[in-house]
Amino acid sequence: MPNVKSERSKMTSQVQALYDFMGEPNTTEMSIVSGEILTLINTEIGEGWWEGKNSKGETGLFPAAYVRKLTPEESVQTKSAPAAPAPPRYDQAADSWGDVEFSAGDSNFQRGASHEDGWDDDWDDDTYSEIGPSQQQSKTQYNQQLTPLPGMPISEYSAHTEETASNYSSTVGTVRKSKFAPSSKVSGESYLLATLNVEVPDSEKVYIVQEEDRYEWWPITHPYTVTVASPKKESKFKGIKSYIAYQLTPSFNNIQVSRRYKHFDWLHERLQEKFTLIPIPPLPDKQISGRYDEQLIERRRVQLQEFVDWMCRHPVLSKCEVWQHFLTCTDEKRWKAGKRQAERDNLLGLNYCISIVVPEKALLQSQVDHITEQCHMFINSMDTSVKSVTNMCIVQTKRFQGPYKADCQKVGEAFCSLAASLSLDEGSLASTSKLTTAIKMTGSAYIDIGRMYDDQPKYDWDPLGDKFHLYKGVVGGFPDTLNTHKSAVQKKRECERLTAEGKMEVAQLNEVLRRTDVISYALLAEVNHFKSERTKDLNATMQKFLRQQVHFYKKIVEKLETTLRYYDE
Amino acid sequence: MPNVKSERSKMTSQVQALYDFMGEPNTTEMSIVSGEILTLINTEIGEGWWEGKNSKGETGLFPAAYVRKLTPEESVQTKSAPAAPAPPRYDQAADSWGDVEFSAGDSNFQRGASHEDGWDDDWDDDTYSEIGPSQQQSKTQYNQQLTPLPGMPISEYSAHTEETASNYSSTVGTVRKSKFAPSSKVSGESYLLATLNVEVPDSEKVYIVQEEDRYEWWPITHPYTVTVASPKKESKFKGIKSYIAYQLTPSFNNIQVSRRYKHFDWLHERLQEKFTLIPIPPLPDKQISGRYDEQLIERRRVQLQEFVDWMCRHPVLSKCEVWQHFLTCTDEKRWKAGKRQAERDNLLGLNYCISIVVPEKALLQSQVDHITEQCHMFINSMDTSVKSVTNMCIVQTKRFQGPYKADCQKVGEAFCSLAASLSLDEGSLASTSKLTTAIKMTGSAYIDIGRMYDDQPKYDWDPLGDKFHLYKGVVGGFPDTLNTHKSAVQKKRECERLTAEGKMEVAQLNEVLRRTDVISYALLAEVNHFKSERTKDLNATMQKFLRQQVHFYKKIVEKLETTLRYYDE
């Protein structure tokens, strides 16, 4: 496989199709056939699309994920013959844990095949341009969630956010381009049109129940927690490569597992592929290579803990197989097997709905429409608010550690300088000396308060920001969910029309209606889950935040009151 | 007399000498004779000097205060004949209170004669170029003490401070140009060289006593206070002119007098002329015309109160005649008489020392030198510190009312927007509604805290700044005092040399030595007074400031704790 980093510089212009892709007729899309060699024209289309030319000279767009880039050597070869599998990456053979190698025969089953490229990179590698479609998708999302963490240079921050802003405006508020991973696109249709019929074992079934006037996921029967603790800097190849490993301990077995960011990332992709109707909580933002700043690592740990907490509290996510595998697997062989199995999973996207068991009652479309419209409006507004809180936290941290601290220190210095001047005129008067001391202590107190401002964000603004980083991700996932649902409803209406025109059997239509209802039930359950979850969560978050703020200002009061005692009454 | 304001625009280039001035030979100074007409060349010399050309074509510098500008009409007239007295100003004839008119015969006795020009201006008139020598002197001082008051545009502030900076560097740290008012210049010599011999009535004598190892002014026997209260906007000429009058009530008679800024200004000049060895506390800074902003007026009141307090607590100043006249006179005729008397006072500058009665013991010059050197060093350092505290107060006020307030409001708005978003999804869940309310209350609390930041400076930073405005003025007066003393000591040494060379009688030298000691005693007493005064005063000031700060942060704590109660436990 091509070396990711070196390929960035010597960009090849040839790709090989890994899968068939049927371009939408009368659009700029172009159909490609697995094995076909294409010449790249433009990789800057965005949203995971590339432009290329086939051997017939036809040009068009196709998902970047459906092709793999050829090395210059391969490009030369493929001019006459189909590409041989790329040689293994130099360091992969010796990789001991987590870097599972697929046999050549496996390659047909690799949905995120190009993902293997990134597998050995450190979590803070941001070579986005080389990664697959779902990662491309994630990229957009990451950028949207990008918050400048301490130690991150401002210039990089603004560069990223600019990119974000432009990405963002094209996706939120309007209809997002739906995912084009083959699974979700194909499976959606196949589930909805009832061409997919798989027997799901009872153990894997997911129930939606009615609770008063709400529909809910069947609540968690065995609640558990997972702690993400003490990130450790580990290394391999005698220290040539080093990385951070996070120690996860689930409460249900108390067995610690070690996971790197890339494992989280892989998990996150699987979850995003599988749960189209459930917004997946975000991971911490990807970072520039080589940053192992203590504070940064701790904030990533906190954000991973937020991710893990959200997963544990979700009735569906908390018990899904890939997550359980991620949480519990300690054996390398089983890890590989589980990984392969997760990547072979067929019940992705809407197809996953085949596992969902809903109440018998058919849903009233007008009611569903009303709820989804309200949800759409709410999510749009929430998206803005959540971002505004996140930004506010970033700004406040900067203010506390910058001007607020500096101002306090200037106040302190002015008093200290006054005390120093007064001490120049210290004679025998004991009282003057006491005043000078008191003023000096006042100066020191303000300098200390400056330090307190510097130290404070980690107790209030940062945790609040981390929490809202999570909400930004979850809220940011809802438009996709809403759109997936909307498309299903449109498809349903199309089927109703077809049936009215006598082009579709009533029996099939009924199955379509039933399955659309399953999708609607799932959406309603998820909307509800988000509501009750955030109610509890925000309540706790805000209180914790306010208590820290109260504590902070109390400490200032205490400091100043102590200082007051140095003066003569 | 010329209309001050209109003359600003149509600047004439001719002036008439009001007094004789003997230029120092072999310098750029030039002698002028009362009544002589001169053509102005440069009014930007600074320090109260102007450059001009006489009828003989000679050019040179003379004190701006010794001349008066001619109106264009007068300029034309004076080309053929000596200037007639200018016509009375249109509004002076009807002026009822405080605008005392001198008869023509009085003009010889008017030391600050051109001051009459300014007499009718509002206190906030800053037409400095039209005012007399001691006012020119004050101008420098005012600028040094200039603090931007609320409502004062930044551009004006920085313009002023730039001017200040350049003025300042030329005067502090090095020897200041001594006052060139005829009285102080002449009287210093005449006192020291024992040519001045006036019998001072016992009632006007001022005593210096030894207290342990210190020399002190005889302490105040009848302490009193004066309140400066409720500035009132008054008007005359049926509202054509309006001005602010401050109500002063001394505790010793409880009779309220009404004084305008210009009265304070006149008083301040008299005090500065009279007390060369006692730094006079500063008045509030002069302001641009037409500013009657409530907050500004209140701060001027506070600064006037600081001035008055310092006066009341000073053993010498508190009982001096002009001050007593200022505090007690309610009758217009007596006011005029007292004003005239004060302006005729001959015991100005060092001549005032003739009133001082000191211990018999001759001072040890080395000891005096040691104390004055230490004082010089202390004052230099103190000048920097006091300015740094003053600036810090200005900056903190700006911060509190600007970014701190804005930041709190942004935090508040972010929470309010979150609450608004959440309310869009309010269903039947009562708990959500409670959370939304709580978050909204949190938002409001931060917006309130923003308002508290806006309001706070008037309780802590402004009073602290006002106090340090006072100290800046007093400390800024010390270099003059120290230099006056230094000159006297030099003159004494010169006399010692003259006597050694047989050019001065021993008897006369002894009187010079005695009188130099009086000057030294006065300096030591004043240095001591400043020390004990500031010790008490700063102790109270700092405590008051800190208590306000404590109160402020306690209010924040309270506000946030109240907010916390809105959340579910």
Complex confidence, ipTM: 0.70
Checking if the pLDDT of A492 tops 90, the result is yes
Rounded CA gap, B553 and A553, in Å? Answer: 6
A375–B399 CB contact, under 8 Å? no
Confidence of residue A369 (pLDDT cuts 50, 70, 90): very high
Could you tell me what percent of chain B has a pLDDT over 90?
49
Span B325-351, mean pLDDT?
89
Q: What are the tens digits of pLDDT across the range B75-100?
A: 655 444 444 444 333 333 333 333 33
Which of B311, B465, B471 is CA-nearest to residue B382? B471
Shortest Cα–Cα distance, A176 to chain B (Å) = 21
**A488-493 long-range CB contacts below 8 Å, 24 or more apart?**
A488/A188, A488/A192, A488/A350, A488/A516, A488/A519, A488/A520, A489/A365, A489/A368, A489/A369, A489/A516, A489/A520, A491/A189, A491/A192, A491/A193, A491/A516, A492/A192, A492/A516
Contact predicate A506/A425, CB 8 Å: no
Contact predicate A271/A320, CB 8 Å: yes
Rg (Cα) of chain A, in Å, rounded?
28
Confidence of residue A148 (pLDDT cuts 50, 70, 90): very low
Span A125-139, mean pLDDT?
33
- Amino acid symbol at B397: T
- Amino acid symbol at B479: P
Residue of higher predicted confidence among B454 and A85 = B454
Q: What are the tens digits of pLDDT across the range A410-422?
A: 999 999 999 999 9
Cα atoms in the 13 Å half-sphere on the side-chain side of B236:
15
Span A147-166, mean pLDDT?
37
Residues in chain A, total:
569
Rounded CA gap, A410 and A407, in Å? Answer: 5
What Cα–Cα distance (Å) separates residue B456 from each residue in B402, B448, B548, B558? 12, 12, 9, 16
Q: Which residues of chain A neighbour B399 with C-beta distances below 8 Å? A: 403, 407
Note the pLDDT of residue B138. 36
Rounded CA gap, B453 and B459, in Å? Answer: 11
B429–A contact, CB cutoff 8 A: yes
A490–B contact, CB cutoff 8 A: no
Q: What are the tens digits of pLDDT across the range A390-448?
A: 999 999 999 999 999 999 999 999 999 999 999 988 764 454 578 999 999 999 999 99
Note the pLDDT of residue A97. 33
- Amino acid symbol at A441: M
Note the pLDDT of residue B238. 67
CA B370 to chain CA mean position, Å: 29
Q: What are the tens digits of pLDDT across the range B440-488?
A: 999 999 999 999 999 999 999 999 999 999 999 999 999 999 999 999 9
Residue of higher predicted confidence among A459 and A96 = A459
Which of A284-288, A419-423, B160-164 shows the lowest per-residue confidence on average (mean pLDDT)? B160-164
Q: What are the tens digits of pLDDT across the range B380-395?
A: 999 999 999 999 999 9
Residue B430: partners with Cβ closer than 8 Å, 6 or more residues away: none
Confidence of residue B47 (pLDDT cuts 50, 70, 90): low
**Highest mean pLDDT out of A190-194, B22-26, B49-53, B333-337:** B333-337
Note the pLDDT of residue A427. 60
Note the pLDDT of residue B98. 35
pTM over 0.90: no
Of A377, A542, A557, the CB nearest to B553: A557
Checking if the pLDDT of A218 tops 60, the result is yes
Q: Is A299 annotated as a binding residue?
A: no
Q: Which residues of chain B neighbour A543 with C-beta distances below 8 Å? A: 564, 567
Contact predicate B326/B283, CB 8 Å: no
Diameter of chain B measured on Cα atoms: 110
Confidence of residue A169 (pLDDT cuts 50, 70, 90): very low
Checking if the pLDDT of A146 tops 90, the result is no
Residue B483: φ, ψ to 5°: -70, -40
Rounded CA gap, A422 and A436, in Å? Answer: 6
Q: Which residues of chain B neighbour A432 with C-beta distances below 8 Å? A: 531, 535
Q: What are the tens digits of pLDDT across the range A528-542?
A: 999 999 999 999 999
Q: Of chain A residues 169-228, which have a CB less than 8 A from chain B? A: 213
Q: Which residues pair with A258 in a beta bridge?
A: A247
Of A213, A389, A535, the CB nearest to B431: A535
Which of A26, A18, A21, A22 is CA-nearest to residue A1? A18
Note the pLDDT of residue A166. 36
Q: Are strands A356-357 and A257-260 parallel, antiparallel or unpaired?
A: unpaired
Q: What are the tens digits of pLDDT across the range B491-545?
A: 999 999 999 999 999 999 999 999 999 999 999 999 999 999 999 999 999 999 9
Tokens matching residue A407: 């101002």
Q: What is the 3-state secondary structure (H, E, C) of A14-81?
A: EEEECCCECCCCCCCECCECCCCEEEEEEEEEECCEEEEECCCCCEEEEEHHHEEECCHHHHHHHCCC
Shortest Cα–Cα distance, B363 to chain A (Å) = 19
Residue of higher predicted confidence among B363 and B103 = B363
What Cα–Cα distance (Å) separates residue B428 from each residue in A62, A189, B127, B419, B536? 47, 35, 70, 16, 65
Confidence of residue B13 (pLDDT cuts 50, 70, 90): confident
Could you tell me what percent of chain A has a pLDDT over 70?
74
A413–B contact, CB cutoff 8 A: yes
Scanning every residue of chain B, which has its alpha carbon at the shortest distance from the alpha carbon of A408? B396
Rounded CA gap, A53 and A41, in Å? Answer: 7
Span B183-209, mean pLDDT?
74
Confidence of residue B215 (pLDDT cuts 50, 70, 90): very high
Contact predicate B268/B284, CB 8 Å: no
CA B305 to chain CA mean position, Å: 13
Of A417, A429, A546, the CB nearest to B563: A546
Rounded CA gap, A475 and A296, in Å? Answer: 24
Scanning every residue of chain A, which has its alpha carbon at the shortest distance from the alpha carbon of B381? A421
Checking if the pLDDT of A35 tops 90, the result is no
Checking if the pLDDT of B326 tops 80, the result is yes
Q: Is A515 annotated as a binding residue?
A: no
Mutation site for B-interface testing, chosen from A377, A415, A421 by largest number of B Cβ within 10 Å: A421
Which of A558-567, B153-162, B373-382, B529-538 shows the lowest per-residue confidence on average (mean pLDDT)? B153-162
Residue of higher predicted confidence among B535 and B23 = B535
Residue of higher predicted confidence among A103 and B259 = B259
Which of B382, B386, B385 is CA-nearest to residue B479? B382
Residue A443: partners with Cβ closer than 8 Å, 6 or more residues away: A411, A412, A413, A414, A415, A416, A417, A418, A419
Checking if the pLDDT of B114 tops 50, the result is no
B507–A contact, CB cutoff 8 A: no
Tokens matching residue B225: 């206070």
Q: Which residues pair with A260 in a beta bridge?
A: A245
- Phi/psi-derived region of residue B151, left when phi > 0, alpha when psi is between -120 and 50, beta in every other case: left
- List strand residue ranges (DSSP E) for B97-146, in order: none
Tokens matching residue B330: 């309610």
Note the pLDDT of residue B188. 65
Rounded CA gap, A123 and A243, in Å? Answer: 8
Confidence of residue B12 (pLDDT cuts 50, 70, 90): low
Rounded CA gap, A310 and A466, in Å? Answer: 13
Note the pLDDT of residue B232. 76
Q: Is B451 annotated as a binding residue?
A: no
Cα atoms in the 13 Å half-sphere on the side-chain side of B225:
5
